[in-house]
Structures are given as structure tokens and as C-alpha cells.
Amino acid sequence: MKQNLEEKYKIDSNIVRNFVGALNSITEPMSQIRAQIKDLSDLSKQSSNALNKIAKSVKKTTNQVLKQSVYDSINQMKEEIKKLTSAYPNEHSKILANSIKQIMKENNGIISSRMIGPLGINRQYLSILESNNEIERVSRGIYQSPNVFEDSFFSFQSKYKKVIFSHMNALYFYGMTEEFPYSYTVTVPQRYHVNVVNEKCNVFYVSDDMLELGICEVETPNGNKVRAYDLERSICDIIRSKNRMDLEQVKKAIRKYMKNKNKDMSKLSEYSKKMGINEQVMEMVGMFND
């Protein structure tokens, strides 16, 4: 896609990069985040005496989900756009369109409607860019540059922020299985129930204390970063869930893992103990410990 980024509307790339990183780190619903942004914005406008009186109550209502660094990155991006629209009051639409393109460029050619919501940019600007053939709609609320190959893993997780690629799907990213995951395998919190995710995915529900164990960022075959479980957590997962999987594929993956020079047996033991399956895991991997 020809970006057509106009220099006079350009926002400092570091500010855009920080904003994209901040938005990609948020897994909570955007309605919740917008409410917290408003709370924190209102808080910042108060006098120092008022701040002391209401700071505690605001922190209680926000539950500190929105980290200060994330809020600062969002707010800085908003301020930069505000400066530009003040400097060029008759070119408001061009400035917002240019901001969308910058965000998209920094986010590997992908943008979602949830990324522009905190900036107060109406979704209609995405529709305008689409009608001008400057971006393409991948799915509801997800757009990409026309010259970018669609990364289904990245697009899916951009839309459903709570999902974590797991089991054989995660092992595919590490080259531990040759089976392409035609349907996603994901792990989600127990309270997370989205019909589309259930229809499209092989879903595993876990408690909050197990959800974070072994989460990391990995690259998809297209080079985009997604959240998935690390090698050791994935091996534990396929052993624990082997009755829901192809047992031969499970055995092949374990065999490959045991031959992998980057395997971490101490971490595998640590994870399996936390998951309450240590004996089961050690017995299974021991079968392939040549």
C-alpha cells in the first residue's frame, strides 16, 4: 500500500510505537479501558488538595487495570493529534486519516477499531480509507494494508485479546509439529465465553492462577508477535489434555521436544508441579529420554 503519509501531519515515530505497544498489551474490554481513561483524565484535572481526597477512590474503581505507563502512552498520542488539529483546523480529516496510517504502519500493516477508540477517532475514518482502497477489511473491526499478507493468527488475537495460543497451536510456532493448525487451539479464562471463539477454536478453560503460567510472545510465520505459551507449558498442556488430542501427534511433539537443545527440564518440572501433573509429565517424557 502506498502510505501517502504527509510529513506535516506526522507524529513522532517513538510516540506512535509506544502507543501501539500500550494498546497491544491491553486485554480488557475497550469500554472498561475508556472508562478508566476518563477517570484518570478527570483525576489529573483536579487540584492537589482534591487529588489527595479522591485518588484512593479512583484507584478502587479502576482496580489499577490500566497501568500508568499505558495511560501515559495513550494520552501522549491523543495530545499529539490534538496539537495537529489545532495547528491545522481545516484539515481535521486528513490528520486523523494520517494518524491511522501511522498506527497501521507501526503495527505491521494491521489496525483494529479498538486501537483508535481511546484516541476519540470515529470508526467512520476506517470506512473512508477502505472505500478509498487504502486499507482492506479482514474481519469485523480488523483492517490491513493491501500489500500485507493476512496473518490469521495475529488478526484473530487482535480481535479476541483474551485468547492465548496453546497446545499444538503453540508448538506449531516452535516447529515442534508439522501439522498446520487449520483451527485454532486456545486457552482462555474460565469466565470467558464468546460464541465465535467456541465455534472457531478448540478451547481450553483454566483458572486465573494457571492462565499466566508460561505466557510469552512468539512470532507467527508472518513475523507478527502473538501471545502463546512457552515450550514447557505447551508440553505440559498436551500431556494433561492428551485424551482430547491425537495421541500420535502428542508423542511426536514430545519426542521432538526431548531432542530440542533448548528444552528446559527444570522449568518443565516446575510447571508440571504447579499444574498438579508432575508424575504424569515425568512418566511421559521419560519414555522418550534416549
**Which DSSP string corresponds to 205-235?**
EE-HHHHTTTEEEEE-TTS-EEEEE-HHHHH
Q: 129, 150, 171: which is the final residue of a domain?
A: 150
For residue 53, is it within any domain? no
Same domain? 265 vs 141? no
Same domain? 160 vs 267? yes
Same domain? 22 vs 145? yes
Tallying the residues shown for the chain, one arrives at: 290
Short-list 18, 60, 20, 24, CA closest to 39: 60
49 vs 46: CA distance, rounded Å: 8
Residue 242 region, left (φ>0) first, then alpha (ψ -120 to 50), else beta? alpha
> What domain range is 142 assigned to?
7-26+66-150
What is the Cβ-side half-sphere exposure of residue 120, based on CA atoms within 13 angstroms?
A: 13
For residue 48, is it within any domain? no
User: Which pLDDT belongs to residue 290?
Assistant: 64
For residue 208, is it within any domain? yes
C-alpha cell belonging to residue 33 = 479501558
For residue 181, is it within any domain? yes
For residue 209, is it within any domain? yes
Cα 170-176-179 angle, rounded to 5 deg: 80
User: Which pLDDT belongs to residue 45?
Assistant: 58
Same domain? 89 vs 169? no
Count structural domains, the chain: 2
Same domain? 18 vs 142? yes
Same domain? 93 vs 212? no
Burial class (CB in 10 A: 0-12, 13-18, 19+), 110: buried
User: Which pLDDT belongs to residue 32?
Assistant: 67
Q: Which residues contact 88 (CB under 8 A, 6 or more apart)?
A: 8, 9, 94, 95
C-alpha cell belonging to residue 172 = 506449531
Q: What radius of gyration do the chain's Cα atoms show?
A: 22
Residue 64 region, left (φ>0) first, then alpha (ψ -120 to 50), else beta? left
Residue 141 region, left (φ>0) first, then alpha (ψ -120 to 50), else beta? left
* Tens of pLDDT, residue by residue, the chain (290 residues): 444 557 888 999 999 999 998 888 887 766 666 666 666 666 555 554 544 444 444 444 444 456 778 888 999 999 999 999 999 999 999 999 999 999 999 998 889 888 998 898 999 999 999 999 999 998 888 898 888 887 889 888 888 889 999 999 999 999 998 888 888 999 999 988 888 888 889 999 999 889 999 999 999 988 889 999 999 999 999 999 999 999 999 999 999 999 999 999 999 999 999 999 999 999 999 988 76
Same domain? 262 vs 162? yes
Q: 150, 184, 201: which is the final residue of a domain?
A: 150
253 vs 169: CA distance, rounded Å: 11
3-state secondary structure 55-91: HHHHHHHHCCCCCHHHHHHHHHHHHHHHHHHHHCHHH
Residue 223 region, left (φ>0) first, then alpha (ψ -120 to 50), else beta? left
C-alpha cell belonging to residue 181 = 493448525
Contact, 186 vs 197, CB < 8 A?
A: yes
Cα 287-290-269 angle, rounded to 5 deg: 60
User: Which pLDDT belongs to residue 8?
Assistant: 84
For residue 31, is it within any domain? no
Same domain? 202 vs 250? yes
For residue 276, the SS3 value is: coil
Same domain? 96 vs 164? no
For residue 78, is it within any domain? yes
Same domain? 12 vs 119? yes
**Per-residue pLDDT tens digits for 68-109:** 788 889 999 999 999 999 999 999 999 999 999 999 999 988
Same domain? 135 vs 174? no
For residue 259, is it within any domain? yes
Give me the amino acid identity at 24. N
100 vs 283: CA distance, rounded Å: 52
Same domain? 235 vs 103? no
Q: 150, 179, 211: which is the final residue of a domain?
A: 150
Q: Which residues contact 35 (CB under 8 A, 6 or more apart)?
A: none
**Per-residue pLDDT tens digits for 197-210:** 888 899 999 998 89
